[in-house]
């Protein structure tokens, strides 16, 4: 297999005729509830390029939603997963175990924040990891309440829908939702009424006050937060917010869970985003970037908390599948070998400089934010009122797609354009993608 050329190439309309044919078959056979951002059907992908079935090569600023940080066919992932595939595909770790699972748990203990004794349990999806973090926290504390935050996203299963803030499209019509879930404010600096400089202190005080008044700290099993909120709009909680909430949890015997499913594994220029303010979570949930595209998720945390669930209480048929574990070991090997934390910081430097310059020219850009290769622009109709502009986000995304740049939108108001390039993308492709964004602004 020859390496995929790292060059954008547009040879048909986007989507092209073969993609359109496949899309027609897909619409007849696949439930419409499963959407696609851009219906170009993929033939190959690696580095910063996605090649479609019509031979177009798109620049990838999505990484399959922050998954293929090492590329979508990284050498070490392919090598290790292929070797494992040839040896055996599955035994079920709960039936007869295998070394790869243990190696992934050891790697997670080494890489996650804190030098306390740690243990892990592996699962298939991010939502499953979050659900299990709740099970473990409840077993450990013998309490029931779970506190989550405005703009938070934690998945699409019943419990994680309850934990997720946004109704449309994640929850609408799918209730009733799991009980004992409480939502409190987060320090969304750009939209905090008294200004970003006050957001950390005020939002944490409000959140803690609500917990005390409405739930009672002694009833709370877990506080779950994304250290950088992903689907909610790449919101970095204003400085001071996370340490205050973390301290409150520690003071009241509440399990503090960092949901690093999107922000983890070098995405923000650190192994985990909570390191930025020196936060050491009790439990950390990971998935997405962990295994170079193979389905794997984990809960990692303090050994005494992880061991609170009775034997047989955690698991699942496929959880920690051996091929996915091999992929994770290949992905982690690549992150270390290529120093992808440094790469993420380089991506941040290039993107922030270019996007900040664009913000001087284009009034629709209300905010440029994010860390590492998790960067976003929030679009507004008016910089004073900050009225969200989801139409501009959709129009920009469409204009980028037509030029062969895959970008994603997000945000509670649907007005955030987010950029999640693979961490192995070259500077030339990164800049070319930014040129396309700039031209798209000029056009709309
Ligand atoms: C994507 C995501 C999830 C859910 O992961 P799935 O693998 O889609 O179930 C949970 N939390 C965060 C922060 C996410 O970004």
Give pLDDT tens digits for 319-378. Answer: 999 999 999 999 999 999 999 999 999 999 999 999 999 999 999 999 999 999 999 999
* 161, 288, 324: residue to mutate for ligand 1 pocket, most atoms within 8 A of CB: 288
Ligand 1 atom having least distance to the Cα of 66: 15
Average pLDDT score over the chain = 98
In this structure, are residues 420 and 65 in contact, taking their beta carbons and an 8 Å threshold? yes
Closest by CA to 437, choosing from 379, 358, 382, is 358
Distance of CA 393 to CAs 91, 113, 399, Å?
46, 35, 10
When pLDDT is averaged across residues 113-124 and rounded to a whole number, the result is 98
Distance 288 CA to ligand 1 centre (A): 7
Name the closest-CA residue to atom 8, ligand 1: 126
* 62, 63, 65, 130: residue to mutate for ligand 1 pocket, most atoms within 8 A of CB: 130
Residue reference for tokens 């034997």: 311
Distance 383 CA to ligand 1 centre (A): 31
Ligand 1 atom having least distance to the Cα of 130: 10
Give pLDDT tens digits for 29-60. Answer: 999 999 999 999 999 999 999 999 999 999 99
Give pLDDT tens digits for 263-277. Answer: 999 999 999 999 999
Distance 284 CA to ligand 1 centre (A): 13
Residue reference for tokens 């077993």: 139
Distance 417 CA to ligand 1 centre (A): 18
When pLDDT is averaged across residues 172-200 and rounded to a whole number, the result is 98
pLDDT for the residue 263: 98
* 131, 152, 287: residue to mutate for ligand 1 pocket, most atoms within 8 A of CB: 287
Ligand 1 atom having least distance to the Cα of 229: 13
In this structure, are residues 423 and 343 in contact, taking their beta carbons and an 8 Å threshold? yes
Distance 190 CA to ligand 1 centre (A): 24
Name the closest-CA residue to atom 6, ligand 1: 126
> Does residue 24 surpass a pLDDT of 60?
yes
pLDDT for the residue 44: 98
pLDDT for the residue 315: 96
* Structure tokens that stand for 136 in this block: 């473990």
| Reported pTM | 0.98
Give pLDDT tens digits for 276-333. Answer: 999 999 999 999 999 999 999 999 999 999 999 999 999 999 999 999 999 999 999 9
**Side-chain half-sphere CA neighbours of 287 within 13 A:** 24
**Domains delineated in the chain:** 17-73+339-443 (3.90.1150.10), 76-337 (3.40.640.10)
**Side-chain half-sphere CA neighbours of 42 within 13 A:** 17
Ligand 1 atom having least distance to the Cα of 295: 7
In this structure, are residues 182 and 146 in contact, taking their beta carbons and an 8 Å threshold? yes
Closest by CA to 221, choosing from 163, 140, 158, 337, is 140
Distance 26 CA to ligand 1 centre (A): 24
pLDDT for the residue 6: 97
The strand order across the sheet containing 416-419 reads 365-371, 374-379, 416-419, 408-410
> Does residue 90 surpass a pLDDT of 60?
yes
Query: pLDDT class for 444, splitting at 50, 70, 90?
Result: confident
Distance 326 CA to ligand 1 centre (A): 21
pLDDT for the residue 137: 99
Distance of CA 372 to CAs 107, 228, 267, 367, Å?
22, 11, 6, 16
Distance 61 CA to ligand 1 centre (A): 18
CA 63, CA 424: separation in Å to the nearest integer? Answer: 10
**C-alpha Rg value of the chain to the nearest Å:** 21
In this structure, are residues 57 and 5 in contact, taking their beta carbons and an 8 Å threshold? yes
Distance 160 CA to ligand 1 centre (A): 9
pLDDT for the residue 434: 98
Query: DSSP string spanning 329-372?
Result: HHHHHHHHHTTHHHHHHHHHHHHHHHHHHHHHH-TTEEEEEEET
Name the closest-CA residue to atom 11, ligand 1: 154
Ligand 1 atom having least distance to the Cα of 259: 13
Within 8 A by CB and 6+ apart from 324, the residues are 81, 124, 291, 294, 295, 296
Name the closest-CA residue to atom 10, ligand 1: 154
Distance 280 CA to ligand 1 centre (A): 20
Within 8 A by CB and 6+ apart from 392, the residues are 364, 379, 381, 415, 444
Name the closest-CA residue to atom 5, ligand 1: 126
How many CB atoms neighbour CB 191 within 10 A?
18
Give pLDDT tens digits for 142-151. Answer: 999 999 999 9
Query: pLDDT class for 2, splitting at 50, 70, 90?
Result: low
Residues with CB under 6 A from ligand 1: 125-127, 130, 153-155, 226, 230, 259, 261-262, 287-288
CA 102, CA 303: separation in Å to the nearest integer? Answer: 15
Report DSSP state, residue 229.
B
Query: DSSP string spanning 299-310?
Result: EEEEHHHHTTSP
Phi-psi region of 395 (alpha: psi -120 to 50; beta: other; left: phi over 0): alpha
Query: DSSP string spanning 4-66?
Result: PP---B--SSSS-HHHHHHHHHHHHHS-TTS--SS-PPEEEEETTEEEETTS-EEEESSHHHH
pLDDT for the residue 38: 97
CA 376, CA 372: separation in Å to the nearest integer? Answer: 11
Give the containing element (helix H, strand E) for 406: strand 405-406
């Amino acid at each position: 297999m020859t390496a995929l050329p790292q060059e954008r190439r547009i040879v048909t309309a986007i989507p092209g005729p073969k993609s359109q044919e496949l899309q027609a078959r897909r619409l007849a056979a696949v439930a419409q509830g499963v959407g696609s951002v851009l219906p170009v059907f993929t033939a190959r992908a690696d580095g910063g390029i996605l090649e479609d079935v019509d031979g177009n090569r798109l620049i990838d600023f999505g990484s399959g939603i922050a998954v293929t940080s090492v590329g979508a066919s990284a050498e070490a992932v392919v090598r290790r997963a292929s070797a494992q595939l040839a040896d055996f595909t599955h035994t079920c770790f709960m039936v007869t175990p295998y070394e790869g699972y243990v190696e992934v748990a050891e790697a997670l203990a080494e890489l996650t924040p804190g030098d306390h004794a740690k243990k892990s349990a592996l699962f298939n999806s991010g939502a499953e990891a979050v659900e299990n973090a709740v099970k473990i926290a409840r077993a450990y504390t013998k309490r029931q309440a779970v506190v989550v935050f405005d703009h938070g996203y934690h998945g699409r299963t019943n419990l994680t829908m309850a934990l997720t803030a946004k109704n449309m499209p994640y929850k609408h019509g799918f209730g009733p939702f799991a009980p004992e879930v409480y939502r409190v404010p987060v320090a969304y600096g750009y939209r905090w009424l008294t200004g970003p400089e006050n957001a950390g202190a005020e939002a944490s005080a409000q959140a803690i006050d609500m917990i005390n008044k409405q739930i009672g700290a002694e009833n709370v099993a877990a506080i779950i937060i994304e250290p950088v909120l992903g689907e909610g709009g790449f919101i970095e909680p204003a400085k001071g917010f996370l340490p205050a909430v973390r301290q409150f949890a520690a003071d009241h015997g509440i399990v503090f869970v960092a949901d690093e499913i999107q922000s983890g594994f070098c995405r923000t220029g650190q192994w985990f985003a909570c390191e930025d303010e020196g936060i050491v979570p009790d439990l950390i949930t990971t998935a997405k970037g962990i295994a170079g595209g193979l389905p794997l998720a984990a809960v990692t945390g303090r050994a005494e908390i992880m061991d609170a669930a009775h034997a047989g209480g955690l698991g699942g048929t496929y959880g920690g599948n051996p091929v996915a574990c091999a992929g994770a070991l290949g992905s982690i090997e690549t992150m270390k070998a290529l120093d992808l934390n440094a790469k993420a910081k380089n991506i941040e430097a290039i993107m922030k400089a270019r996007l900040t310059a664009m913000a001087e020219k284009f009034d629709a850009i209300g905010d440029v934010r994010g860390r590492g290769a998790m960067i976003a622009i929030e679009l507004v109709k008016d910089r004073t009122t900050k009225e969200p502009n989801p139409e501009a986000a959709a129009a920009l995304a469409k204009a980028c797609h037509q030029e062969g740049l895959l970008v994603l939108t997000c945000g509670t108001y649907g007005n955030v354009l987010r950029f999640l390039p693979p961490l192995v993308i070259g500077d030339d492709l990164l800049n070319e993608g930014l040129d396309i964004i700039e031209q798209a602004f000029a056009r709309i």
